[in-house]
Amino acid sequence: MTNTEKAQTLIELVKHYSPSGTEAPAVNYLVQRMKDLGFTRAYKDEIGNAIGVMGEGEKQIVLLGHIDTVPGEIPVRIVGAEHAPPLLYGRGSVDAKGPLSSFVDAVAGLGKVPGWQMVVIGAIDEERESIGARHIVDKYRPDFAIIGEPSRWNRVTLGYKGSARATVTTRREMAHSASGQETAPEAAFAIWEKVSAWVDDFNADKPRVFEQILLSLRGFSSGDDGFETSATLQINARLPVTLLPEAWYAQLEALSAPETVERNGYPIAAYKAERNTPLVRAFLKGIRAEGGKPGFVVKTGTADVNIVAPVWGCPAVIYGPGNSNLDHTPNEHISLEEYGKAMDVLKNVLFALTLSPKA
């Protein structure tokens, strides 16, 4: 079987363009694909996630990927030079339909295992507020969890940073421009300087980016109504494992006082997996079995693993084919050879966890 033939699930899924909020056609395709591949059950849940279940056992492995993408449709095409593996171009080929499709194909390749149930989930809305993952988090209590994000076929991702968003608003009475009184924009930028200085101090003795706060100003606006001026800062912080969102918000509020701080969206704590687990050992063996030298990585973004892993409390890792440097880019593409290797690694992992006496 050629690399292109092995990747039919991925190729067809990428053809179903599915930016967040418009996932239904892709979900419908994936549900039907899992039925065609012999899953015990495949369906769309109440919120719109694609769910595929293989087997009926009491023990459970959940393979959670996301089916939505960022906006920006890329023409789907396969490019292959002579003596070079084919490359699939298209939005989501890397982030994260490659990992999700490899879950589907690996589970289908292994088939039913007595005593085990394997659940593949194509979650919606991961690129926004992760309503798909939030919907399923209390519905499962797996023995092992594998979260689909690109890390290359021979690497295992162990952690993602947390995230917290906020709006800081300053207000001042209108005054003549020659009065010398502080304006709302000036007050807002003074707060930004204080917050930036505090973050610099926090990061000073932390050489690894994963241990640092990554601070960004995502927006600024100002205006007046004739009586009062106002200014707003849209602040985002990527947080390390050592700093919970609540502690970050408390610090931001103290630095901004007496101005208003509004918490936005869902704050997410950072997550880092243990390295010495049966799941990690299975991945190391699985990668070596396919001729790879396994490595570990941690990411500065945030993913659905941050939501589900702390609740499930089971061994969890993040894995999937693709170069994450191509995430969200107009050049997004994946090597179909790498996709095939990742699928084989996953089959090795699932075999080790479910059929081998020792993982």
Active-site residue, 82 included: no
Cα distance between residue 113 and residue 150, in whole Å: 27
Helix (H) or strand (E) holding 15: helix 8-15
Task: Report the candidate in 129, 144, 119 with the shortest Cα–Cα distance to residue 34.
Answer: 119
Q: Is 291 helix (H, G, I), strand (E, B) or coil?
A: coil
Specify the DSSP class assigned to residue 228: E
Q: From 129, 119, 130, 134, select the one nearest 43 (Cα to Cα).
A: 119
Distance CA 353, CA 344 (A): 14
| Catalytic-residue membership of 68 | yes
Question: Which amino acid does the sequence have at 167?
Answer: T
Q: Give the distance between the most distant pair of CA atoms in the chain.
A: 80
Give the separation between CA 12 and CA 66, rounded to whole angstroms.
15
Select from 288, 293, 292, 299 the least CA-distant residue to 323: 299
In the set 95, 105, 126, 337, the catalytic residue is 126
Q: Which of 68, 95, 149, 259 is catalytic?
A: 68
Q: In 31-128, which ranges are E strands?
A: 41-44, 50-54, 59-66, 77-79, 87-89, 116-123
- Of residues 211, 212, 171, 170, the one with CA closest to residue 193: 170
Taken as a whole, the chain contains a residue count of: 359
Check residue 236 and report its DSSP letter.
Answer: E
Radius of gyration of the chain, Cα coordinates, nearest whole angstrom:
23
How many other C-beta atoms are found inside a 10 Å radius of the C-beta of residue 6?
Answer: 18
Q: Distance between CA 137 and CA 58 in Å, rounded?
A: 18
Other CB atoms within a 10 A radius of the CB of residue 126 amount to 27
Element (H, E) at 332: none
Which residues are identified as catalytic? 68, 126
